[in-house]
Structure 1
Amino acid sequence: MLEALLWGAVAAGSLVIGGLLGVAREWPDKLIGAVLAFGAGALISAVSFDLFEEGVQQGGGLPVAIGLTAGALTYFTLDRIVEKRVPGAGTALALGALLDGIPEQAVLGIGLASGQGVSISLLAAIFVSNLPEAIGASTDLRDAGRSRPSILRLWGVVAVVCTLATVGGFGLADATSGDFKAGINGFAAGALLVMLVDSMIPDATKKAGRIAGLVTVLGFAVAAGLS
């Protein structure tokens, strides 16, 4: 349990680091876009190799498909609700970090409890992708008039919830079937894919321009190499 708490804190800690970097200074749009693009590539790799593929191996295609649908619809619905109240890409990225972070880090905890050890590739993908999500979202939130303390509190809460999700996954591992674990993987993948297409990739392209595609490939290659 202590090990799950530690690794969960390591993975979620990058959200706080990204938040601190985002409010510390003005970052050039091109740099923010490039970092977002790199993180998008890493997340695409995580969806492909660490979430979808492993989910199918654990419980088959049906549980993953159900989880994929649930994750996509959950993110889509909540994103629209939040967007009406607090418009802006920053809010969408923060919501995405929470919705995909909870099941992603639960998967980390499940892996630890099952004796597989921590998945270095998934841990790296979570850490690498959290940074640009938090930096980009914090920059947008700051530009929208949110205060620095409120932005840092937001990331602190998201990081704590995601860390506890790792501990929760560890605790649930023995009581859940492979189908349930596969569904968790699918949920994370579905939420991630909608967030990527709706928020992260468009924001990266808008800020970085045409180099965004090349940097996305680089992020994918690095994360895929780790997996």
Structure 2
Amino acid sequence: MLEALLWGAIASSSLVLGAALAMVRRWSDAVVGIVLAFGAGALIAGVAFELAEAGVAEGGALAVGIGLAAGAMAYFFADRAVEARSGRRGTGAAGAAGMPLAVGALLDGVPEQAVLGIGLATGDGVSVALLVAVFVSNLPESVGASADMLGAGRSRRFVPLLWLGVGAICTLASVGGRAIAEVAPPALTGVVDGFAAGALLVMLVDAMVPEARAKARDLAGLATVVGFAVAAGLSLLS
């Protein structure tokens, strides 16, 4: 459990790092977009090589398919609920600025890090490729959301505390993933892998890739391919 706690903390530490970077200086949209695109490419590789492939090997195609559908629907409806709530409160209000991104980081961070814990429980060790993908993809989300909240008047104490809380929940998800995998049948492990993959794919298509394209423009595609290549290479080496 301590090992899962350690790796979970490392993966989620980029959320707090992103908040710190936003407080130090203002980053251009182009830089945030390039990092976002790199993280998207890394996550695509993680979905393909670490979640879908490992899930099928562990629990079978049916289990992964069920998990994919459940994860996609769960993220879709949770994200719609967040958007509806922020819309009612007004996106320009200090209370709402940046909060949807923070909740989004929580929604995709929990299944991502649960999979890290599952890898430890099954004896495969931590997936370096998935760890890198999670770490890198968290950064622009945290930087962007933190900048929005600071610009809307949130205190410099509230912002890092918020990300510490999100990071703590995501870290505990790694421990929970390991605990579930130790007692669950292989089919359930496949469902969890599929759930994470489904949630990530919806998040990538609905939010991460469009935002990367809007911010980095023509460089987004190249950065995405570089992120995919790096994560795929790490996955093949591990």
Does the TM-score normalized on the shorter chain lie above 0.5?
Answer: yes
The alignment of Structure 1 onto Structure 2 pairs a total of residues equal to 227
Q: Corresponding residue for 1:186? A: 194
TM-score (norm 2): 0.88
Displacement of 1:17 in angstroms is: 0.8
Q: How does 1:1-227 map to 2 (within 5 A)?
A: 1-87=1-87, 90-227=98-235
The CA distance in 2 between the partners of 1:73 and 1:127, in whole Å, is: 24
Asked if the contact 2:35/2:136 (under 8 Å) is kept, the reply is no
Displacement of 1:145 in angstroms is: 4.6
Coordinate RMSD, CA, aligned: 1.8
Displacement of 1:90 in angstroms is: 4.3
TM-score (norm 1): 0.92
Structure 1 stretches lacking a partner, 5+ long: none
Structure 2 stretches lacking a partner, 5+ long: 92-96
Residues 173 and 74 (structure 1 numbering): CA distance in 2 closer, same or farther, change over 3 Å?
same
The CA distance in 2 between the partners of 1:41 and 1:140, in whole Å, is: 25
The CA distance in 1 between the partners of 2:175 and 2:158, in whole Å, is: 26
Q: One-letter code of the match for 2:109?
A: G
Deviation digits for residues 101-121 of structure 1 (CA, Å, limit 9, x no counterpart)? 212211211221222222222
**Where in structure 1 do 4 or more consecutive aligned residues deviate above 6 Å?**
none
Asked if the contact 2:115/2:196 (under 8 Å) is kept, the reply is no
Asked if the contact 1:45/1:220 (under 8 Å) is kept, the reply is yes
Classify the secondary structure of the residue corresponding to 1:26: coil
Classify the secondary structure of the residue corresponding to 1:64: helix
The CA distance in 1 between the partners of 2:190 and 2:154, in whole Å, is: 38
Asked if the contact 1:96/1:192 (under 8 Å) is kept, the reply is no
Asked if the contact 1:92/1:195 (under 8 Å) is kept, the reply is no
Percent identity of the aligned residues? 61
